[in-house]
């Protein structure tokens, strides 16, 4: 497979290369692509050095799959050009997610919807992926009615510039700011930009993407997205009201049996998910399971995952693996 990684010099791009190597993705030719600023730069994949190229050269090389993590504008402008050249694009930005002509895929949930005609495939938002995966089998059995989620998102979710801001602040160095306020020793109720309705874009992604992934508009989601000074890993406090009553032991079993999800829930041993445990892992970790005693059929849970892995690179690469395994590219 001739594979292009667009945004190879970025936070997600770096993890993308790591995950491609770890999973032995069948790469026969690799094109590492970034902005004109990075053209000529050297990157290493499986002990081999590669020179970063620009987007036009990458389109001309006609890769079978291009995995994009280079921001929404780059995707809007370039993904159609790759698609026209016959390349299947898996896009990590928000550019195509809510486009009704594009599919929004979490492989464990809805990869079966993919066909050969899907030339631009959207990867959901990192906070969405971990939440829907943890809820997927519970939804099947008990039917979700309403989800209230509050996120605790790491600075790596914003990209290189934000990680640098946190590192500078910890080291007492003045530098470029990714956020309007300091993030070290602070918490910002502000992920992505504000919209007319008072929510942030990130909050609206969490509200809308799950319905599309489950192909189900019978439940609703409301979100508060918060940036915290962790370097990697997103956490979420999720309150989910089901149509039907549940049995907590059964909920635990269902979560344990959900592919890609790990139950980490034993208060007697202080066992619960945390970003430090999720770091560099592909799974989504779930714990603090308890019945919401304030209303019927409602569950509280805590969900953590590595946003650069299952939240971005791993999910995109799993889509690629599915395409190859099913002869869709």
- Catalytic sites, residue numbers: 126, 234
User: CA dist 329 to 50, 59, 64, Å?
Assistant: 24, 16, 6
Using CB under 6 A, list all residues that contact ligand NAP.
Answer: 7-13, 34-35, 37-38, 55, 69-72, 74, 92-93, 126, 156-157, 159-160, 307-308, 311-312
Q: Which is nearer to ligand NAP, 137 or 158 (CB)?
A: 158
Q: Which is nearer to ligand NAP, 137 or 154 (CB)?
A: 154
By three-state DSSP, how is residue 105 classified? coil
What whole-number distance in Å separates Cα of residue 124 and Cα of residue 104? 6
What whole-number distance in Å separates Cα of residue 70 and Cα of residue 102? 18
Give min distance, CB of 115 to ligand NAP, in A.
Answer: 24
Give min distance, CB of 185 to ligand NAP, in A.
Answer: 22
What whole-number distance in Å separates Cα of residue 314 and Cα of residue 230? 20
Task: Tell me whether strands 88-91 and 65-68 are parallel, antiparallel or unpaired.
Answer: parallel
Give min distance, CB of 107 to ligand NAP, in A.
Answer: 15
Question: Residue 80's closest CA among 120, 116, 115?
Answer: 120
Q: Which is nearer to ligand NAP, 33 or 255 (CB)?
A: 33
Give min distance, CB of 99 to ligand NAP, in A.
Answer: 15
193 burial level (CB within 10 Å; 0-12, 13-18, 19+)? exposed
User: CA dist 92 to 52, 129, 281, Å?
Assistant: 19, 12, 19
Q: Which is nearer to ligand NAP, 147 or 308 (CB)?
A: 308
Give min distance, CB of 294 to ligand NAP, in A.
Answer: 33
Q: Which is nearer to ligand NAP, 125 or 137 (CB)?
A: 125
């Amino acid at each position: 497979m001739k594979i292009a990684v667009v945004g190879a010099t970025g936070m997600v791009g770096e993890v993308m290369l790591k995950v491609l190597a770890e999973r032995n993705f069948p790469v026969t030719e690799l094109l590492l692509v970034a902005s004109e600023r990075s053209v000529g730069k050297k990157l290493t994949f499986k002990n081999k050095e590669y020179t970063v190229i620009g987007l036009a050269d990458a389109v001309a090389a006609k890769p079978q799959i291009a995995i994009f993590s280079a921001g929404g504008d780059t995707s809007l402008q370039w993904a159609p050009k790759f698609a026209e050249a016959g390349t299947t694009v898996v896009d990590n930005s928000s550019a195509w997610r809510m486009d009704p002509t594009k599919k929004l895929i979490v492989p464990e949930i809805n990869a079966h919807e993919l066909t050969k005609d899907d030339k631009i495939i959207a990867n959901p938002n990192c906070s969405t992926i971990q939440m829907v995966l943890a809820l997927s089998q519970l939804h099947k059995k008990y039917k979700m009615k309403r989800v209230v989620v509050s996120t605790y998102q790491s600075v790596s979710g914003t990209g290189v510039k934000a990680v640098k801001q946190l590192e500078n602040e910890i080291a007492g160095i003045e530098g470029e700011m990714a956020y309007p306020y300091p993030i070290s020793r602070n918490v910002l109720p502000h992920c992505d930009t504000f919209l007319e309705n008072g929510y942030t874009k990130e909050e609206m992604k969490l509200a809308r993407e799950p319905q599309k992934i489950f192909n189900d508009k019978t439940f609703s989601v409301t979100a508060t997205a918060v940036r915290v000074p962790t370097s990697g890993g997103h956490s979420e406090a999720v309150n989910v009201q089901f149509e039907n009553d549940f049995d907590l032991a059964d909920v635990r079993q269902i979560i344990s049996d959900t592919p890609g999800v790990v139950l980490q829930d034993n208060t007697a041993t202080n066992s619960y998910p945390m970003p430090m445990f999720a770091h560099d892992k592909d799974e989504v970790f779930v714990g603090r399971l308890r019945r919401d005693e304030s209303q019927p059929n409602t569950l509280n849970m805590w969900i953590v995952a590595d946003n650069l892995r299952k939240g971005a690179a791993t999910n995109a690469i799993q889509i690629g693996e599915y395409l190859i395994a099913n002869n869709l590219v």
